[in-house]
């Protein structure tokens, strides 16, 4: 099973393409909306809650508090789907020893923090998100983790990112990948959908479609390697098929 956490104020539907692709490969995928953090979270019965946190979260410390709250959400979802009230129909298809997590932006920070707090999660992916909770990415205990982000903001020379600190704390299998021409939302469905509507941003060199393919290829390779034990040469180093992707070794 793979859990997915979206960016701050974003609905889970911004990661639909990744969810669909992983499901097509045989994963149970749980994409999570975080109540009061999304612009609109709909519940059965028609009740819709808005993003109350959008008006209250500004500082890094407040974003760290958001991450800690999300960790509780993710652990709750794991418990519900493996042994709780929702486990009935899924208990025979979920292997509780093979659970992964990924997220975009603050959802990536949530992935790392959930792994620190919940040993049931075996591997994690951060898509272009800083970590906020300090020390960054500490406490994973050697479990595999991959960071995939925009070259302009998440390279080793970038001044505003905490990825260098996170890299030092990751002591298991790890990858730091950056994508030339990408921007923050290149790892979600938004640029691809904008392109379909003729709303592509000419200031972003990487097309929405190409961003989607890169994200799909590396995320699926990561989980296939670490949850299913399938060899993935794509993760061994730079590939001519993906010239935009650089393997960072700070």
Least confidently predicted of 61-65, 139-143, 214-218: 61-65
Entry pTM: 0.93
Q: For position 151, what pLDDT does the model report?
A: 97
| Predicted local confidence at residue 85, as pLDDT | 66
Q: Which long-range contacts (CB under 8 A, 24 or more apart) does 82-86 make?
A: 82/120
- Domain interval for residue 240: 2-247
pLDDT of residue 50: 82
Instruction: State whether the Cα torsion 20-105-39-200 is positive or negative.
Output: negative
Rounded Cα distance, 223 and 16, in Å: 17
Total domains, the chain: 1
Give residue 86's pLDDT: 63
CATH classification at residue 51: 3.40.50.1820
Assigned token pair, 171 = 């002591």
- What is the rounded CA–CA span in Å between residue 40 and residue 48? 6
- Averaged confidence pLDDT in the chain: 93
Cα distance from N-terminal residue to C-terminal residue, the chain: 31
pLDDT, mean of residues 45-59: 82
Residue of 109 and 83 predicted with greater confidence: 109
pLDDT top residue among 40 and 189: 189
% the chain with pLDDT above 70: 98
Quick one: pLDDT band at residue 23, thresholds 50, 70, 90?
Answer: very high
pLDDT of residue 46: 84
Across the range 42-52, mean pLDDT stands at: 82
Q: Is the pLDDT of residue 3 over 70?
A: yes
The average pLDDT across 175-181 equals 98
**Residue 145 structure tokens:** 């983790």
- Say which residue, 45 or 141, is predicted with more confidence: 141
């Amino acid at each position: 099973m793979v859990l997915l956490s979206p960016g701050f104020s974003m609905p889970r539907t911004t990661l639909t393409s990744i969810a669909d692709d992983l499901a097509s490969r045989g994963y149970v995928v749980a994409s999570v909306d975080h109540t009061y953090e999304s612009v609109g979270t709909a519940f059965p019965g028609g009740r819709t809650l808005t993003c109350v946190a959008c008006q209250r979260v500004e500082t890094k410390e407040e974003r760290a508090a958001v991450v800690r709250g999300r960790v509780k959400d993710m652990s709750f979802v794991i418990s519900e789907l493996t042994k709780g009230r929702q486990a009935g129909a899924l208990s025979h298809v979920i292997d509780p020893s093979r659970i992964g997590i990924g997220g975009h932006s603050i959802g990536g920070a949530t992935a790392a923090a959930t792994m620190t707090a919940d040993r049931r999660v075996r591997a994690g992916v951060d898509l272009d998100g800083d970590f906020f909770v300090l020390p960054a990415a500490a406490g994973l205990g050697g479990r595999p983790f991959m960071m995939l982000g925009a070259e302009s903001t998440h390279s080793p020379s970038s001044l505003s990112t905490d990825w260098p600190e996170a890299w030092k704390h990751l002591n298991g299998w790890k990858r730091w990948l950056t994508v030339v021409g990408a921007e923050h939302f290149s790892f979600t469905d938004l640029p691809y959908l904008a392109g379909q509507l003729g709303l592509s941003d000419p200031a972003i060199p990487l097309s929405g479609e190409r961003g989607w393919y890169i994200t799909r290829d590396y995320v699926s390779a990561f989980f296939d390697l670490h949850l299913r034990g399938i060899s993935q040469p794509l993760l061994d180093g730079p590939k001519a098929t993906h010239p935009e992707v650089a393997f960072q070794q700070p």
